[in-house]
């Protein structure tokens, strides 16, 4: 069978009897089909881009939630150390000891790295290894009292505050970093007949006392109404406005004149 020309490209279609009918579509139909394909491609690209942006946004959200969980669990770890210290009276020796005593159960650690506990006399230092120095610096910046040293994150947990209660009868002998008010005296100290011993160096703006006994003392200025001394050694001494050095020079001169007079026979001792 002959083909029918419709001023378009050929399109063959089989029919009964094995013959073919070749139909030529108009050029306008082919153009419309091309635009449809272009729109489908554009829509596919936009959809893929949207899915990529959504996946990235979801990943960022998951990272933020994960980091928030890290910080929350680190705070829980610090609180667990304080609770253990308050209950037992001593710092926890290890992370496993905290879990055994029930102060800490499940814990999410940053970058799945374990926290190492290093107990000291007045504090416990938590140590964690970050994947990089930048990561360690970021984590240390999010935790109060933390610092970073290369890839190491160091968190200091001080002895519980109840050990420094204001009503405590003890005088603190070491500096307390997280309680600076305990490092200064805010009232008079009355020793009530007790001694203050073993002072390596004493600095005072003024000193008032009935007696002072010391093997050695270096004083810039002393004002005293009465004084009893077994021996006084001084480079310079001024009493009543008179220099003792000048007095000694005069005595030496008088002694020399006296000796000269005796030698000449004019004076008798």
Mean per-residue pLDDT of the chain: 77
CA triple 183-190-121, angle to 5 deg = 35
- The confidence score (pLDDT) of residue 156 equals 93
Where do runs of H (alpha helix) occur along 89-165? 95-100, 133-142
For residue 11, name the pLDDT band (cuts at 50, 70, 90).
very low
* Domain residue ranges of the chain, discontinuous segments joined by +: 53-164
The answer to whether 258 touches 267, Cβ cutoff 8 Å, is yes
Work out the number of other CB atoms within 10 angstroms of the CB of residue 70. 18
- The confidence score (pLDDT) of residue 171 equals 58
Residue 64: phi and psi, rounded to 5, are -65, -45
What value does the mean pLDDT take over residues 23-50? 69
Pick the more confident residue, 74 or 15. Answer: 74
Picking from 32, 33, 13, 29, the residue whose alpha carbon sits closest to that of residue 21 is 13
For residue 132, name the pLDDT band (cuts at 50, 70, 90).
very high
Give Cβ neighbours of residue 94 (< 8 Å, ≥ 6 apart).
117
Q: What is the 3-state secondary structure (H, E, C) of 30-51?
A: HHHHHHHHHHHHHHHHHHHHHH
For residue 4, name the pLDDT band (cuts at 50, 70, 90).
very low
**Using CA atoms, how far apart are residues 67 and 241, in angstroms rounded to an integer?**
76
The answer to whether 139 touches 110, Cβ cutoff 8 Å, is yes
- The confidence score (pLDDT) of residue 6 equals 41
Task: Report the Cα 158 to chain-centroid distance in Å.
Answer: 12
pTM score: 0.43
- The confidence score (pLDDT) of residue 174 equals 66
- The confidence score (pLDDT) of residue 197 equals 80
Q: Which residues pair with 250 in a beta bridge?
A: none
Q: What is the pLDDT of residues 135-176, one digit of tens each?
A: 999 999 999 889 999 999 999 999 886 555 555 555 556 666
């Amino acid at each position: 069978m002959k083909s029918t020309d419709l001023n378009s490209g050929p399109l063959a279609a089989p029919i009964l009897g094995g013959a073919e009918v070749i139909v030529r579509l108009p050029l306008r139909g082919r153009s419309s089909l091309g635009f449809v394909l272009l729109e489908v491609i554009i829509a596919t690209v936009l959809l893929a881009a949207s899915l990529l942006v959504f996946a990235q946004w979801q990943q960022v959200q998951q990272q933020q939630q994960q980091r928030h969980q890290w910080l929350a669990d680190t705070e829980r770890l610090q609180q667990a150390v304080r609770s253990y210290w308050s209950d037992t009276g001593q710092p926890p020796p290890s992370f496993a000891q905290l879990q055994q005593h029930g102060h800490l159960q499940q814990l999410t650690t940053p970058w799945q790295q374990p926290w190492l506990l290093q107990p000291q006399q007045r504090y416990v230092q938590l140590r964690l290894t970050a994947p990089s120095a930048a990561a360690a610096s970021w984590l240390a910046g999010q935790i109060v009292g933390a610092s970073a040293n290369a890839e190491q994150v160091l968190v200091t947990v001080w002895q519980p505050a109840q050990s420094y209660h204001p009503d405590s009868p003890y005088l603190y002998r070491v500096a307390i970093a997280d309680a600076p008010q305990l490092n200064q005296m805010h009232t008079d100290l009355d020793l009530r007949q007790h001694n203050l011993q073993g002072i390596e160096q004493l600095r005072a703006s003024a000193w008032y006392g009935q007696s002072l006994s010391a093997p050695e003392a270096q004083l810039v200025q002393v004002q005293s109404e009465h004084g009893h001394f077994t021996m006084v050694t001084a480079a310079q001494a001024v009493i009543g406005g008179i220099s003792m050095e000048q007095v000694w020079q005069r005595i030496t001169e008088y002694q020399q004149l006296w000796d000269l007079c005796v030698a000449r026979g004019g004076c008798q001792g």
